[in-house]
Amino acid sequence: MVSKVIIVTGASRGIGLAISNCLLKQSCRIVVVSRSREPLEQLQSQYKDQVEVLAGDLADLSLGQKAVGAAVSRWGSLDGLIVNHGRLEPVERVADANLDEWKGAFDVNYFSAVAMVCTLELCYIIDVAVYKLQRGSDHSIGQSRNSRTSDKQRHHCALFIGCRCQGYFDMGMLFGD
């Protein structure tokens, strides 16, 4: 059985660290992402061939792309993403709110997760294209972003993407419906 490759964000402590340990005990290979490098390196020293470390602030939206790239370049695939990172601040009365702090919180808590999912969506669309080319399909996956895609083609893509992601995917959003 081939072990799964999974990205875990917020992996340096708490739930993220617990999830990472659980996955590693199940022989998964994981890319761990967090601002704190040291706890990630401790995981890597315990599970040498199963862990790829990526330290940085996910407010940098390119970090999600780097995590996907690290998984694919090291293990040749990506089977899942656990978005567990976030920051609590600012916790304050709305009357005292600092707009820049709120924008920073949304960059980390929301937009970085959206950026990672967009990166995965692109990877899976490419993956479907490769899959179809290998099977000799005469339909262009390039059409999957617009209304010219047939229902049969969408269903095929949905099944393949759903199997790879093992989670909920809103196909209407994926195909622009």
Q: Using one digit for the tens of pLDDT, what is the confidence trace for 43-84?
A: 999 999 999 999 999 888 899 889 988 998 899 888 888 988
For residue 64, the model assigns a pLDDT of 87
The answer to whether residue 129 scores a pLDDT higher than 70 is no
Q: Using one digit for the tens of pLDDT, what is the confidence trace for 139-175?
A: 433 333 333 334 443 333 333 333 333 334 444 444 4
Q: Of all helices (H) and strands (E), which one includes residue 54?
A: strand 51-55
* CA nearest neighbour of 116 among 170, 157, 59: 59
Confidence class for position 38, pLDDT limits 50, 70, 90: very high
Confidence class for position 10, pLDDT limits 50, 70, 90: very high
**For residue 56, is it left (φ>0), alpha (ψ between -120 and 50) or beta?**
left
| Crossing angle (nearest 10°) for helices 112-134 and 62-75 | 40
pTM: 0.68
The answer to whether residue 132 scores a pLDDT higher than 80 is no
Structure tokens of 127?
């993956």
SS3 55: strand
Domain ranges of the chain: 5-175
Strand 5-9 relative to strand 80-82: parallel, antiparallel, unpaired?
A: parallel
5-175 CATH choice from 3.20.20.70, 3.30.70.3420, 3.40.50.300, 3.40.50.720: 3.40.50.720
